[in-house]
Amino acid sequence: MPSKFDSLKSAFGRKTTPPAEKDAAQPPAEAAPAAPVQPALQPTQPEPDPCASDDQTRLAALYRVSRILGTSLEVDEVLGQVMDAVIELTGAERGLLVLTESDSQDWTLRVSRNFNEKQLIEWEKEISRTVINTALQTGKGVVTADAQTDPRFSAQASVVFNVLRSTMCTPLLARGRLLGAIYVDSRIQKDIFDNEDLEMLDALAIQAAFALDNARIYTRTVQQVHQLTIELDEARKAHQVAEITETEYFKQLQARAQALRGGMAGKEGDAGS
C-alpha cells in the first residue's frame, strides 16, 4: 500500500524526504535575523495627470490663481495680481486692465502687461476701443477668433492698422457695479481664443472684481479713519483750549495783558503830544 509520501512524490514529480529523515539528514537551521523596520512612506504631491482634459486643466489653473487673488488689500497690488493671472491663463500676447469712473462707462488704463514703452504712449491706438466699449456697454464678455474678418470689428481703424487677430474682453462687475474691464489680444495668431477661453476669463473676472472692490473698500475705510482721527485731534485741541480760556487764572492774565496794552497806548500818546 503506497504511503502518503509516495502520493506527494507522484503529485509534484520530485522526491520528497519524510520529516524524520529530513530532520536527521540536515542540521537545524539558524534563525534568520529580523528584517529592519522600514519607515512609513511619506505622502507625495500628486503629479499632473497627463490624461486630464482641457476643462480639468483650466479649472485647476483657475483654482490655483483664485487662491492668489485677494491675498492683498492694496489696490495696485491686486491689479497686478489680476493681470499676471490673466496672461497666465489665457496665453495672450498682451493685456490691459481699465477702470471706469464713478460707475460711468468712461475708462482709464490702470495696468498693462507685455506692452513696451512706445506702445504704452500710444496704447489707445494699439488696441481695439470698440471691443472694450462693447463689453462695458453690454456687461458681457466679447471674443473674436480673428478681428480682421469679424464683421463687428474688421472696419475699425485700430484693428486694420495694428493687424489685431485674436481679441477678448470681459467686464469687471461687483455687487451690481461696473468697475472696469479686462482686455487681451494677439497680433500674431488667430483662433487662439474661443468661447471656453471667454468662460474662463469671465470666471476669473468675477473673482478679480470682488478682490478689487474689497481692496477699494479697505482703502476708503483707512482714509476715512485717518480723516476722522485728524478731526478728533482738532476737536480735542479746541476743547482743551476752551477749557484753558475759561479758567480764572487765564482771565486774570488776559485782564493784565489788556491793562498793559492800555498803559503802553497811553505812553505812546503822551510821547506824541
What are the b/e assignments for 187-213, b being 16+ CB within 10 Å? eeebebbeeebbebbbbbbebbbbbbb
According to DSSP, the residues that pair with 107 across neighbouring strands are 100
- What's the mean pLDDT in 100-124? 82
SS (H, E, C) 153-222: CCCCHHHHHCCCCEEEEEEEEECCEEEEEEEEEECCCCCCCCHHHHHHHHHHHHHHHHHHHHHHHHHHHH
pLDDT of residue 12 exceeding 50, the answer is no
Q: What is the pLDDT of residues 223-262, one digit of tens each?
A: 888 787 887 778 788 777 777 778 887 777 777 777 777 6
Work out the percent of the chain whose per-residue pLDDT is above 90.
15
Domain membership flag for residue 42:
no
Domain membership flag for residue 232:
no
Poorest-confidence range of 55-59, 105-109, 177-181? 55-59
Read off the pLDDT band of 160 (50, 70, 90): low
Whether the CB-CB separation of 182 and 172 falls below 8 Å is answered with yes
Domain membership flag for residue 267:
no
Domain membership flag for residue 2:
no
Angstrom distances, CA of residue 225 to CA of 43, 124, 196, 200: 48, 37, 44, 38
Q: Which SS3 state, helix, strand or coil, does residue 235 take?
A: helix
Question: What pTM value is reported for the model?
Answer: 0.62
Q: How many domains does the chain have?
A: 1
Q: Which is it for the CA torsion 258, 263, 268, 269, positive or negative?
A: positive
Domain membership flag for residue 228:
no
- What's the mean pLDDT in 80-84? 89
CB burial of residue 137 (10 Å; 0-12, 13-18, 19+): exposed
Domain membership flag for residue 227:
no
Q: Can you give the residue range of the structural domain that contains 157?
A: 54-217
Place of cell 455687487: 175
- Average pLDDT taken over every residue of the chain: 75
Poorest-confidence range of 27-36, 54-63, 109-118? 27-36
Domain membership flag for residue 96:
yes
Whether the CB-CB separation of 90 and 182 falls below 8 Å is answered with no
CATH of residue 206's domain is: 3.30.450.40
Q: What is the pLDDT of residues 170-214, one digit of tens each?
A: 999 998 899 999 999 887 777 788 898 999 999 999 999 998 998
Which amino acid, residue 139? Answer: G
Q: Report which of residues 69 and 76 the model is more confident about.
A: 76
- What's the mean pLDDT in 85-106? 85
Domain membership flag for residue 109:
yes
Alpha-carbon distance of 141 to 126, in angstroms, equals: 20
Q: What is the pLDDT of residue 189?
A: 76
